[in-house]
A and B are shown apart, each in its own frame.
Chain A
Amino acid sequence: MRLSLLLGLALSATALIAAAISLVWTPYDVTALAIADKLKPPSAAHWLGTDHFGRDIGSMLMAGAQTSIAVALVAVGIGMGLGVPLGLLAAARRGSLADEVIMRGNDLVFAFPSLVIAILITAVFGPSALNAILAIGIFNIPVFARVTRGSALSLWTLDFIRAAEVAGKGRARISAEHILPNIANHLIVQGTIQFSLGILAEAGLSYVGLGAQPPTPSWGRMLAEAQTMVTLAPHVAIFPGLAIVLTVLGLNLMGDGLRDHLDPRLRRAA
């Protein structure tokens, strides 16, 4: 196992564990205000300091991890859940009308800048974490559909698929039994990368006020709120920023490392 994969796994695991712990315990209550303690720099009582309402930044980061991960996870779930079957269908019926409709629909979604559409969706349906999830999830669908179709197409030319056809198996059954297990590596790797992009997208939407609404803590909104106070108390901006950067970096390293680890040809060259 390579160092980058280990580092990626460690960083991703840290974010995940922080989010899991915050479900049951955080050092301080993230909704309680303590104006007297506002904008305290890091200290023994508050390891990462406090914000302009005197809330503990460490606790808010833990709870914010929960929001980020939940949004990204569900968004990737939507993308995979719809994109993979669509991609399998397009590959199984290559050149048919269904293939054309699916892939041109894909192109259509790809043609829009995703964040602008996300802003549109939240502007129409109102800002909330749920709408952010939907917006990010919809843009994951074509990504997975394309990766699935591309890798499935090369498998469809192989003889073991022909043998399955001679054994009377239908295309749906062949897709599930022979194609899907053989493209799982690609999907896992793509999933990790989309997951990190989802976290970035959620932070971006929350930053402009279209994601999770107060009092739900969110890394993106923490950054936005810290903006005016950067010169006064830099730690208020630095720690949420670091959380985003390190988590995304960790997921990307993990995705890259997994690709090498799951592909036997690359593993040998390592």
Chain B
Amino acid sequence: MSLLSVGNLSLSIHGAPILSGVSFEIAPGETFGLVGESGSGKSMTALALMGLLPQGAVASGSAEFLGQDLLALPERALTRLRGNEIGMIFQEPMTALNPMKTIGDQVAETLLVHRAAARGAARDIAREKLARVGLAEDRFPLTLYPHELSGGQRQRVAIAMAIALRPRLLIADEPTTALDVTTQAQILDLLKGLTDEEDMALLLITHDLAVVAGRTTHTAVMQAGRIVEQGETEPLFRTRAHDYTRRLFAASDHRPARAAQTRPEPLLTVENATRDYLLPRPSAFAPHPVLRAVDGVSLTLHRGESLGLVGESGCGKSTLTRAILGLDPLQGGAIRLGGAEVTAGHTMPAGLRARMQVVFQDPYGSFNPRHRVERLVAEPFHLTGTPPDARDRVAAALEEVGLQAADRRKFIHEFSGGQRQRIAIARALIIRPDLIVLDEAVSALDVRVRAQVLDLLARLQESHGLAYLFISHDLSVVRSITDRVLVMKSGRIVEEGATEAVFAAPRHPYTRTLVAATPTIPARWKEPAHAD
């Protein structure tokens, strides 16, 4: 007897088909993974089950839950189910909570809305649920506000709200995508524990095969609004019957072919760099407290080398990057690029700036939406003076990153996320720098696009002798593209060494935690089931 049985679910929004013929079943207490790339329809499937579809959406098919068809229920009946029998948690913990209410009130509210408990009893249940998700009373009283919690702690509050009424089904839509890797592991463990102990089924929606691999019993793979393959997780991973599953699988731990081409000559040296921020005064006449974001960091990057910088959010890697790019001044130490000192702002000579460029994480915020690609890519010519053949060079750069010369007349909104990152790389390449800083440059991309962009980066490094400083929180990506890696924590470099050596045998306890927390597909699953 299944808890949820989705049959032939189809959905269109304003006539555009979103889902077609989606069918799957979830048994009570089961963990079911729904995997797919962005736009595959996995979130829309969840919203259809909750009856939270956007305007203009038309759904057909059936979704039997506890003997009722969710698609046929009127709104009043659905509100009774939501939060009561079906709980949901979302990707972004920063916006999922009301900043004006205490965490205790927010968890209790779920109970009060469903008249499940009187006010006093609701607070007791809230206390108990918050303790259950790991927010113990002594450190996390009910009177805390969301801004006093970290991202992972907020996600725990969101989970406490979702499980307050002991729902039979919990839908988690990318619950850990916005979190650091160690926090991700804790939240995933928490969800797993909850399903085991509370007899609750979990529908885990994610883009990350590795997240599904360790934690679900059944998995469905979605592509373009269809489920292309589903079954028990381990056999599905081992056989990879469908072509799309195979391609996703290959892309998820793709390693571009690259030969080490490091030359012993140092290109970038950072010596004892220190960067302080002044925090707001605690009282009117008190001195500003100081936050030391980067604390005596030293590193060397050689010509043609690919150096990784790994760390979780708040470890100071972005601050260090800004200093290296000459955007912020240092309070102590020095940064040298090819022997010349990097200084902040307009005091840095254009010739020196022209030796390094940057690619950012967000493919949407990286470009002025009002300029054409031609002008966007040509922007760094500001440093060198526009050459007479600027047009041809823009066209050549676009072709080099796998786009067409004709694309230079288009606006940025006409491109996908992956194409935009290619344009960002073209912009960085156009003045032939020695060093490109890649600040989470592939983190926002789908796995298959990410694999292509990594290949492109490896190819360009070889043909131009580029050095990369690759900054990321994603260990598997860093592992695939760097020669050497630095691990940063609380403003300091805690471990440094050849990439493979560091990941295979981490010495520092923090590095060990990071490596252990990174979700991976078990190595034995990677071998084909039928040995031929």
Point out residues on A near B: beta carbons under 8 Å. 158-160, 162-170, 177-178, 181-182
Contacts and interface: CB of A to CB of B under 8 A. Distances in A.
A168 B327 contact: no
A182 B370 CA distance: 7
- Which of B350, B362, B365, B368 has the most chain A CB atoms closer than 10 A to its own CB? B368
A168 B353 contact: yes
B346 A170 contact: yes
Interface string B370-405: 100000000110110000000000000000000000
A165 B437 CA distance: 14
Given A159-B362, A162-B358, A166-B327, A182 B368 contact: yes
A166 B382 contact: no
Nearest to A177: B368
B515 to A, nearest CB: 29
B466 to A, nearest CB: 16
B237 interface: no
B370 A158 contact: no
Nearest to B427: A163
A148 to B, nearest CB: 17
- Nearest 5 CB-CB pairs, A to B? A159-B360, A158-B365, A159-B366, A167-B380, A168-B383
B464 to A, nearest CB: 18
Contacts of A158: 365-366
A119 B370 CA distance: 43
B350 A163 contact: no
Nearest to B378: A167
Nearest to B433: A166
Contacts of A182: 368-370
A166 B365 contact: no
B357 interface: yes
Given A178-B368, A182-B369, A162 B360 contact: yes
B411 to A, nearest CB: 12
A160 B367 contact: yes
Most buried by A among B348, B354, B361, B380: B380
Given A163-B366, A163-B424, A182-B370, 7 more contacts: A159-B361, A160-B368, A162-B358, A168-B350, A168-B353, A181-B368, A181-B370
Contacts of A160: 365-368
Interface of B: 325-327, 346, 348, 350, 353-354, 356-358, 360-362, 365-370, 379-380, 382-383, 424, 427
Contacts of B356: 166
B382 A167 contact: yes
Contacts of A163: 358, 360, 366-367, 379, 424, 427
A157 to B, nearest CB: 8
Contacts of B358: 162-163, 166
A93 to B, nearest CB: 12
B479 to A, nearest CB: 25
Contacts of B379: 163-164, 167, 169
Most B Cβ at <10 Å: residue of A164, A168, A170? A168
A244 B325 CA distance: 56
7 contacts: A160-B368, A162-B358, A162-B360, A167-B353, A167-B382, A168-B348, A178-B368
A182 B371 CA distance: 10
B327 to A, nearest CB: 6
A2 to B, nearest CB: 18
A159 B365 contact: yes
A159 B350 CA distance: 20
A158 B360 CA distance: 10
A147 B142 CA distance: 39
Contacts of A178: 368
A168 B355 CA distance: 11
A165 B350 CA distance: 11
B526 to A, nearest CB: 36
Nearest to A157: B365
B365 A167 contact: no
A119 B236 CA distance: 81
Nearest to B370: A181
Contact of B382 (A159, A162, A169): A169
B376 to A, nearest CB: 8
Contacts of B326: 166
Contacts of A162: 327, 358, 360
A264 to B, nearest CB: 9
Contacts of B366: 158-160, 163
B379 to A, nearest CB: 5
A168 B325 CA distance: 10
Contacts of A165: 325, 327
Q: Which of A159, A165, A166 has most chain B Cβ within 10 Å?
A: A166
Nearest to B356: A166
A167 B428 CA distance: 9
A32 B424 CA distance: 69
B139 to A, nearest CB: 32
A229 B379 CA distance: 67
Contacts of A169: 379, 382
| Residue from the set B326, B346, B365 with the largest chain A CB neighbour count within 10 Å | B365
Nearest to A164: B379
Nearest to B376: A160
A162 B327 CA distance: 8
B249 to A, nearest CB: 31
Contacts of A181: 368, 370
B433 to A, nearest CB: 10
Contacts of A177: 368
A165 B346 CA distance: 9
A19 B162 CA distance: 63
Contacts of B362: 159
Nearest to B380: A167
Contacts of B424: 163
A108 B57 CA distance: 51
Contacts of B382: 167-169
A23 B524 CA distance: 87
Nearest to B348: A168
B156 to A, nearest CB: 28
Contacts of A159: 360-362, 365-366
A178 B365 CA distance: 12
A165 B382 CA distance: 10
A170 B439 CA distance: 22
Contacts of B348: 168
